[in-house]
Amino acid sequence: MTDAAASDSRVRARVDRALGHLTLDRPRAINALDLGMIENLAAALDAWEHDPSVDAVLLDGAGERGLCAGGDVRGLYDQIVAGDVAETAHFFRAEYALNARIAAYPKPVVVFADGVTMGGGIGLAGHAAVRVVTERSRLAMPEVRIGFTPDVGGSLLLARAPGRVGEFLALTGESMDAADAIYAGFADHLVPSERLDDLRDALVSRADPQTATELVLLFDETAGPARLEAARPWIDDAFAADSVAEIIGRLRDRAEPDARATAELLETLPPTALAVTLAAVRAARERNELRAVLAQEYGLVLWFATTQPDLVEGIRARLVDKDGAPSWSPASRDDLAPDVVTQAFAFEPAPALWTD
């Protein structure tokens, strides 16, 4: 085994035979991504792309808790409070470039989304060629819960989910287990966590003509029934509505307890984030191309970060003061500006995400 790219204490990059192996190594923070980690991941992919001795890449996370809990949200909070717009934009440009690079990488990228894989973790795992989950996996795009909107290409994955499952997951921030993640299109294979070491060894020692996908299939187990599939009747009915208010109304009219509980949840979430997120998923469905959707998300996240108070307030309530009592602005859908979605989509970030 040899080192093949620059590494710091939070990302380990090495080559074992023909497998480039990247491990997020910040387990106390469930491997939350900061800028340095993103840059090290990108540097390793750069080094291995044209290296003939590397023919596949494995990405996993250190510790037992998860692959990646998301971006370093507390760091984002500090940047916004300090008014460091340039640094905030730089972080998102680097992160989104990495997401797009994983999706287009010429060698298969295998990701073990074991345990918590949320937000920025979905950006790493969701666009990979081979996406492995386990019985411990919990995947989600929970951004609305902090007054934000799904990004890292997550709105495209949500848009491609069956029926209106994407709108449901985006607006509620609900977690998926392995069966749900496979059903919703966020993962490909279920491998028991106790077999991951064996799968790693097989990826290292594989012999032609076995591809990474063929090897993972040897360890694949059939996932149980997906909760999301069973809930499709009320999800599709309610979340096909044109507005958040109508979605909530339809949920209240359903007989299913889960539908009514979802209506109650939506009433507690920030009106601005809900309205913009609903529009974002539907716009991503129309665009249906990752780089275009990332550009859309980039404008929206900087709109939230630079013009809206809810993001700072949501992070404060959850991670800074930890009082769990955010004060949304506005607090009621009735007070939401009628053109808020238009404002969000019209925002033009500088510099642009893509220059080519």
Per-residue pLDDT averaged across 150-174, rounded? 98
Comparing 120 with 4, which gets the higher pLDDT?
Answer: 120
The pLDDT, as a whole number, for residue 3 is 52
Rounded CA gap, 263 and 69, in Å? 26
The pLDDT, as a whole number, for residue 206 is 79
The pLDDT, as a whole number, for residue 6 is 43
E runs forming strands in 114-199: 116-118, 130-133, 138-140, 189-190
Weakest-pLDDT range from 15-24, 116-125, 209-218, 264-273: 209-218
Q: Is residue 279 within 8 Å of residue 341, measured between CB atoms?
A: yes
Q: Would the pLDDT of 173 be above 70?
A: yes
Per-residue pLDDT averaged across 39-54, rounded? 96
For residue 74, the number of C-alpha atoms closer than 13 Å in the C-beta half-sphere is: 8
Q: Would the pLDDT of 5 be above 90?
A: no
- Sorted by sequence, the CB contacts under 8 Å of residue 66 that are 6+ apart come out as 30, 31, 114, 115, 116, 117, 118, 121, 138
Comparing 95 with 208, which gets the higher pLDDT?
Answer: 95
E runs forming strands in the chain: 2-3, 11-16, 19-24, 56-61, 66-68, 109-113, 116-118, 130-133, 138-140, 189-190
- Note the pTM of the prediction, 2 decimals: 0.95
The pLDDT, as a whole number, for residue 70 is 95
As beta bridge partners, residue 59 has 22, 111
The pLDDT, as a whole number, for residue 8 is 56
pLDDT, the chain, mean: 95
Q: Would the pLDDT of 295 be above 80?
A: yes
Rounded CA gap, 4 and 47, in Å? 7
Rounded CA gap, 70 and 259, in Å? 28
Rounded CA gap, 114 and 290, in Å? 24
DSSP 216-240: HHHH-B-----HHHHTHHHHHHHHT
Per-residue pLDDT averaged across 263-276, rounded? 98
Per-residue pLDDT averaged across 316-333, rounded? 95
- Sorted by sequence, the CB contacts under 8 Å of residue 292 that are 6+ apart come out as none
Smallest Cα–Cα separation from 130: which of 198, 193, 60? 60
Q: Would the pLDDT of 55 be above 90?
A: yes
| Residue the block writes with tokens 């989304």 | 113
